[in-house]
Structure 1
Amino acid sequence: METTRRTIIKSASVAGSVAVVGSSAVLTSACTSAESDDSQAEPGPAASLSSSEVPVGSGTVVDDTYVVTQPKEGEFHAFSSVCTHQGCQVRNVTETEIVCPCHSSMFSTTTGEVLGGPATEPLPEYSVSESSGELTISGT
């Protein structure tokens, strides 16, 4: 069989398509693993931190389990740090929003309610108590 330019181009095209499809499957699998849809996971054990570690008008993620916010001086709220959309860790906290970096879902810093999708469920809220400058977050 004679190898022509057309045969070589067709072969390269098929091989390239297989490589792209294979790569997509690997990437999809990696994203699915990193963003597991386990958004209803049980809360972790109680956590504690100094109230000074939570900036006023912002918040902080604790042990990749909770996000603690302080929208106003002395007003603390605790939520799951796992986005209810696809299970990514929320990272960015502004005065009014907890933002998931994966797909930009936004949640209220005071209620955990969804302010902007794609998430449709609020962040689960947990109790946070303060004693002598120490905050304790519990999964109840």
Structure 2
Amino acid sequence: MTYETTRRTVLLATSATGATALVAACGGGGDDGGSTSTQSPSGEDATSGAAGQALAGIDEIPVGGGKIFADEKVVVTQPEQGQLKAFSAICTHQHCLVSTVSDGTINCPCHGSKFKIADGAVAHGPATQPLPAEQITVEGNSIRLT
């Protein structure tokens, strides 16, 4: 028998005291708005990709906006000309991958959390924690994870 994982999975277990229900919200699979799992095979939350990896050229990061690097789970922003910032692309609310950068915020598709491009601070919940900063270096026109 094949089971399809949905956004909400209910597991029932029986014990001496009767049935117990466990609800796991925002699980993987199903119609999840394009988000991907952010857990490593060991079950730990994944962070950014390989250190030293070239992400993009400076000219690929719009001023007042940013670009998401889904494979590396990093978002690079340029709040002002020449000011580059990098943050984890994993929402601190339910660990969904952020999907867009617009109007000065990094946006999560799962529950609507928004984070400021200048410092990763929460601009709109339900997230309560900022996006963690990631370390980048600029070599010529190339932006690299460090």
- TM beyond 0.5: yes
C-alpha RMSD over aligned residues = 2.6
**Deviation of residue 113 (structure 1)?**
1.1
Displacement of 1:134 in angstroms is 0.5
The structural deviation recorded for 1:79 is 0.4
What's the counterpart of residue 77 of structure 2? 69
Q: Is the 8 A contact 2:26 2:94 kept in 1?
A: no
Pairing 1:125–2:133 present: yes
TM-score (norm 2): 0.68
Distance 1:84 1:78 in 2: 15
Q: Give unmatched runs, 5+ long, in structure 1.
A: 1-21
> What is the one-letter code of the residue matched to 1:79?
F
Distance in 1 of aligned mates of 2:68 and 2:76: 6
Partner letter of residue 33 of structure 1?
G
Q: Which of 101, 104, 118 lines up with 1:96 in the alignment?
A: 104
Which has the greater radius of gyration? Answer: 1
Q: Secondary structure at the match of 2:134?
A: strand
Q: Report how many aligned residue pairs link the two structures.
A: 116
Once the two structures are superposed, the pairs formed by residues 48-63 of structure 1 within 5 Å of their partners are 48=54, 49-63=56-70
**What is the Cα deviation at residue 37 of structure 1?**
7.6
- Judging by fraction of residues, say which structure has more helix: 1
Quote the sequence identity (%). Answer: 38
Distance between the aligned counterparts of 2:6 and 2:111, measured in 1? 20
Consecutive unaligned residues of structure 2, counting only runs of 5 or more, are 10-24, 30-34
Say whether 1:28 aligns with 2:8.
yes
